[in-house]
Structure 1
Amino acid sequence: MFVFGPLRILQLALAAAFAACLPVAAGAQGAGLGAAGELVDPDVLRVCADPSNMPFTDKSGEGFENKLAELVAKETGRKSVAYTWFPMVMGFVRNTLRANHCDVIMGYAQGDELVQNTNPYYRSTYVLVLPKGSGLEDVETIEDPRLKGKRLGVVQATPPSSNMAVAGLMKTAKIYPLTIDTRLAPSMAEVMIKDLKAGTIDGAALWGPMAGYYVRKSGLDLVVVPLVKEKTGSRMVYRITMGVRPSDQEWKRTLNRVIKDKQEDINRILLDYGVPLLDERDQPITQ
Structure 2
Amino acid sequence: MGLGAGLGGLAASPQAHAQVVEIVDHAALRVCADPAALPFSDHDRAGFENRIAALFARDLGVPVRYTWFPNTMGFYRRTLNARACDLVIGAPAEMDMAQPTVPYYRSTFALVTRRADHLALGGLDDPALAGKRIGAQARTPPGDVLVRRGLADMLRAYDLVVDSRISSIGRLMVQDLLDNRIDVAVMWGPVAAYQVGLHPGELTMKTLGETQDGVQMGFGIAMAVRKGEPAWRARVETFLNTHRQDIAAILQDAHVPLLPLESEAQP
TM-score (norm 1): 0.81
Runs of 4+ with >6 A deviation: none
- Provide the residue aligned with 1:182 in structure 2: 164
In structure 2, what is the Cα distance between the partners aligned to 1:220 and 1:189? 18
The worse-fitting range, judged by mean Cα deviation, of 217-226 and 268-277 is 217-226
| Partner amino acid, structure 2, of 1:105 | V
In structure 2, what is the Cα distance between the partners aligned to 1:117 and 1:229? 21
Matches within 5 A, 1:137-216: 137=120, 139-185=121-167, 187-216=168-197
* CA displacement, residues 178-219 of structure 1 (integer Å, 9 cap, x when unaligned): 22212122x111111122222221111100011111110122
* CA displacement, residues 28-74 of structure 1 (integer Å, 9 cap, x when unaligned): xxxxx984521111220000111211111111111111111101111
Q: Does 1:241 align with 2:222?
A: yes
- Provide the residue aligned with 1:85 in structure 2: 68
Q: How many residues align?
A: 247
Cα offset, 1:75, TM superposition: 1.2
Which SS does the other structure have where 2:152 is aligned?
coil
Cα offset, 1:221, TM superposition: 3.4
| Partner amino acid, structure 1, of 2:122 | E
- Provide the residue aligned with 2:44 in structure 1: 60
Which SS does the other structure have where 1:215 is aligned?
helix
Does structure 1 conserve the Cα–Cα contact (< 8 Å) formed by 2:142 and 2:186? yes
Please list every run of 5 or more consecutive structure 2 residues that lacks an aligned counterpart in the other structure: 1-16
In structure 2, what is the Cα distance between the partners aligned to 1:103 and 1:220? 41
- Provide the residue aligned with 1:264 in structure 2: 245
**Structure whose CA Rg is larger:** 2
Which SS does the other structure have where 2:50 is aligned?
helix
Does structure 1 conserve the Cα–Cα contact (< 8 Å) formed by 2:108 and 2:219? yes
Cα 1:66/1:60, change in 2 over 3 Å = same
* CA displacement, residues 116-170 of structure 1 (integer Å, 9 cap, x when unaligned): 1111110000111123342421x22101111111011111111111011011122
Cα 1:167/1:229, change in 2 over 3 Å = farther
Please list every run of 5 or more consecutive structure 1 residues that lacks an aligned counterpart in the other structure: 1-32
Does structure 2 conserve the Cα–Cα contact (< 8 Å) formed by 1:148 and 1:168? no
The worse-fitting range, judged by mean Cα deviation, of 118-127 and 224-233 is 224-233
